[in-house]
Structure 1
Amino acid sequence: MSNHPFHPTASAGNPAGNHLRRHRQQAGLSQLELALRANVSQRHLSCVETGRAKPSPGTLHALLSALGVPLEECNEVFLAAGYAPRYTASPLNAPAMAMVHEAIAHILQANNPAPAIVLDSMWYITAANTSAGRLLQMAGVQPRDDAPLNLLETLLRPEGLGDQLINADEIRATAWHRASREAAGNPELAQLLQDLPCPAALAIAPSPSPVVLTRLRSAHGELKFLSTFTTFGMPLDVTVASLRIEHLIPADTHTWHTMTLAYEQVTAKP
């Protein structure tokens, strides 16, 4: 029999340590680098990862924040460590979300005549500005009244928005790769991806442009947009953290002119 004391490893009854080590390795950080970022000792971090020490809620929060772990996955780590979940997931219609909706409405309105949409963690469009509605009409995409439009589905399924894109292979591959990364911590999104057709071309040659443009064919000719995202800073709620606003900024004069006219036609007084 060995005289050495038994120390549990990260694979033996240490779910919190497993989570932390996995997130650290995915971030490409050494224990020393993470310890410095989180202001904890490397020795303590090592003991936490191997199960020789139980981290306090404050230490867990510091480590997870330094790793940039999504709030929903942070809750999983807190549960694994024997603590209550730290972050709530408020319904979109909760009274506490009123200021969030006001901020979103302001951003969407200010973005006109450039299209802007709000996406949740499942890629459903939960809100859109007037110009986004006009753009979807120009693309022949008609959202259903009884269900929100899912951006992934309309990009990847036949007869959706993807069919109207001149560079459909490029956009579909980009969307698929992004959703695949997000699905690592989102089982529902992972299931949605399994149910969707995988893009035929996932290996796309690098574009000479510094960004990937969305190139849409329409009755007004080719429309070009570059995409940017807005997220909420310092979110303390899973729902708020999952929301993002995608801005489709016209990439040339023709697209700006077309979207400006389309917006003015909708908002012109009778």
Structure 2
Amino acid sequence: MTATARGADEQGARMRLAAMPEDWTRALAVVAHPDDMEYGAAAAVAEWTAQGKDVVYLLATRGEAGIETMDPAEAAGVREAEQRAGSAHVGVTEVEFLDHRDGVLTEGPALRSDIAAAIRRHRPELVLTLNHHDTWGGGPGSPWNTPDHRALGRSVLDAVGDAGNRWIFSEQFDVDGVLPWDGVRWVAVFASPGVTHAVSVGEEAARKGVASLLEHRAYIEALTDEDPEMYARSIVHGGLDLHADRNGGQRAVAFELHAR
């Protein structure tokens, strides 16, 4: 092997995504809005639940400000129903909503407290959340991320530590009867510009991912004139193909993984 070929091979190895850990049984996915999971990670969830793993969804808002043509009070009910229907396609039966306002999520103790309480209740080993970085990509001119995503993701990272500290948000122990939980072993951030790990996704899980996103029909129809089914398929398949070259040619959901 020439030095050039060896260098190219070594560079390719550095670029390959590691496999996500599989030695866990319970995950909590914490996102800002209905459809956040479906746009990024639902197909991976389908793979996990098919293996018998337990995944719970926690949403900070009901996405009531997400449909311009629908009054927020109406949109909240519609989008909550769409989320529950979409979650069922990928084997998620527990879906919880916090009552923070869509569009104005604020990073800080109030949001951290609510997330820490959920972590203490559900006691996951793996916590999932959406890209909290300033942009969606790593290069110059990458699209700017939204305030809700940035505030939510950063609060999740902080709340994981809060959940294990009995002196932080300790009032929860009296009100909710929960106990500190320091058992989160990983936090995985999907749609991150700095992914490190991947979950390979087969045809059945990809199909479930498309079906899950397609349940958000009211949102999709307000967003685009494209046929909803074609739109959902293009979004999900496009995301799964994005990192296939770094996953041995297999479709995948990629994550930025933080070990604890």
TM-score normalised by the chain length of structure 1 = 0.28
- TM-score under structure 2 normalisation? 0.28
Structure showing greater Rg:
1
Higher relative contact order (Cα pairs below 8 Å, separated by 6+ residues): 2
